[in-house]
Structure 1
Amino acid sequence: MNAHIENDLPLAVLDTCRLTGRTPDRLHADYLRVNALLAQVEAQVRESLLPVPAGGPLLHVLSVWSIDRARDAAWASVLALWELRRVPPARAMVADALSGSVGMVSRALLTPLSPN
């Protein structure tokens, strides 16, 4: 989910802007509506998929990541890349850096935990 939200989502929003002739600010209300929908189900999904004792190492790792924070970061990337659309080399470098940093975070989230 991290890679999808923090990397793929900003690029998809920008593609949507390009294909529909709209600016990110015209998509923001819909973007926020999806945030509200995800917030309604996130806690239920975590609880049903992660029956881990409180304080467990896996729970600690997962608690540092949230859909809300990931989507906030994704929206910040949308705005930054949107502003860089007129400077293709800079936009490409920032998009590559985004992919690299998202990949690093994703790998960290997937690092196996050592047994206690």
Structure 2
Amino acid sequence: MPAASPQFVVSQDAKRAHSATTVLVQFQVRTESREAFAKLMQSVKLNLPQVPGCLEASVFISEGQPLRYVLVEQWESAARHAAHVRALQDSGEWRAIEQHLDGAPTVEYLLEQ
């Protein structure tokens, strides 16, 4: 039985935040999608900084868990990130990402001090 479709959820607090923020997104990738997801993440790393409000994007792979990816995004504000996530979902681009995942990604917002 296939896993339930992952959803990318932006917290209500993050939607209200207007200060600079770092977003950590952890993905657990399906074994059969490892190569395709690696290519997708390289594209994200190059293209995400072109999105209005995104300052930087870095991609990491867990040393001990090669199917666990961490995307670190720097945004002008959590509100800008939330708008980007809505655009991904509205355009259908999120479905191209979620097809490679084994569950929903975890998202953590870190506010700059």
Q: Give me the TM-score of the superposition, normalised by structure 2.
A: 0.30
Larger radius of gyration: 1
Structure having the higher helix fraction is 1
Q: Give me the TM-score of the superposition, normalised by structure 1.
A: 0.29
Structure having the higher strand fraction is 2
